[in-house]
Amino acid sequence: SLKIWNCDGLNKIGDLPALKSLTVCRCERLTTLANMPALELCDVSLCPRLEQVSDDHMPTLMRLKLWGLDILKLHPTHLPSLEELVVLYLPNWESTFTSMPCLRETLFYKCPMMQTEGWIYALSELAGHEGQATQLQRLSVWNCPSAKLGWKLLEQLPNLIELGLDSESAVLLPYSLPSRISTFLPSLETLQLRDNTNVDEKVKWGRVPQWLWGPSQLEYL
């Protein structure tokens, strides 16, 4: 386990092939995290110059938290063991998803460049070629205007039990889907919807969508 705090002179963390847990916070000059193939937990925050988080393959990583990284655009895309992903305040992160078959919980907050097209493709490939559904159970997307998360992605998440969205991050139209929601989200128990307003104080959700009343299994709305 390695924890690094407030090391302003540190610009690179080199290869650590046996390291299992890494926490890095407030390292102003840090630009690169090198190869760490045994890493299981990675928590990196408030490193404004960080450009790269390890290499493209982290086979044992189970928890990844990234927040307050101003110029980071991409994270490793092949994460076969990842179970929890938290991404907060990443203004340039482009979210290139490819393989995260074990992902169970994820939170995205204030990631304006985040998109979901790649994730949809990855989930479709998982179902089509491997015949298995994604394990994702909890998904929250807040203040991510490029995400445009919609039914096409949600249909790939049959094990989802908790969903949180705001009107800036989601495109949940048309309204004619309520009769099908319980079919492709059979496990959903908790649904949180937030309404963002623009500078003109106009409500973006508009009237309460009729599909809200479709999932009869909801315990919390």
CATH 3.80.10, the chain: domain bounds: 94-205
Predicted TM-score (pTM) of the model is 0.86
Which amino acid would we find at residue 37? P
What does the alpha-carbon distance between residue 32 and residue 59 come to, in Å, rounded to a whole number? 19
Q: Using H for helix, E for strand and C for coil, what is the string for the chain?
A: CEEEECCCCCCEECCCCCCCEEEEECCCCCCEECCCCCCCEEEEECCCCCCEECCCECCCCCEEEEECCCCCCCCCCECCCCCEEEEECCCCCCCCCCECCCCCEEEEECCCCCCCHHHHHHHHHHHHHHCCCCCCCEEEEECCCCCCEEHHHHCCCCCCCEEEEECCCEECCCCCCHHHHHHHCCCCCEEEEECCECCCCCECCCCCCHHHHCCCCCCEC
pLDDT in tens, the chain (221 residues): 999 999 988 998 888 889 999 999 999 999 988 888 899 999 999 999 998 786 667 889 999 999 999 998 877 777 889 899 999 999 998 876 667 888 899 999 999 998 877 776 666 666 554 555 678 899 999 999 888 888 778 878 888 999 998 888 887 655 455 556 777 788 889 988 887 655 444 445 555 556 666 666 778 87
What length is written for the chain? 221
For domain 94-205, give the fold: 3.80.10
In 131-194, where does DSSP find H-type helix?
151-154, 178-184
